[in-house]
Amino acid sequence: MEESISHNAGKVLLQIYLIWKEKNKVPDFKELLELTKLEEDEMKRALKYCHEKRFIDLKIIYGMGQTQMQGVFWIKDFTSLGIDIIEAPSDEKEEKRPFNVTFNFNTDFNIESIIKGEAKLFG
């Protein structure tokens, strides 16, 4: 079953965060494809979603006769908004983290265990 664009985007953003935190760099497109096992089109939609939410700085290079989604995607940077959405704690009233709300995950999605390396992000 194909996951929603927002779910894929949330998982991709977390993967970028983990690499950025561990290696002090953002992964390239090919590296993300290998790590996530997503299809190229799924990855592009996820990255565009994250970019439009301003969680990552993304450059899309495309030529004449191409659409944006046919172009080359280059992740330039991980933004402070991206860090904030991942590291922000739960809202006491809602008991949901802003990350879970933004990416439509239920409360069973434990971001803490993924950040600590206790759980896998991609199967």
Q: What is the mean pLDDT of residues 86-111?
A: 78
Domain ranges of the chain: 5-115
Contacting residues for 23 by C-beta, under 8 A, at least 6 apart? none
Share of the chain above pLDDT 90, in %: 58
CA angle 98, 54, 95 (to 5 degrees): 0
- Full-model pTM: 0.84
pLDDT, one tens digit per residue, over 34-66 is 999 999 999 999 999 999 999 999 999 988 887
**CATH code for residues 5-115:** 1.10.10
56-89 exposure pattern, b = at least 16 Cβ within 10 A, e = fewer: bebebeeeeeeeeeeeebebeebbeebeebbeee
CB count in 10 Å sphere of residue 1:
2
Structure tokens at 98: 């802003």
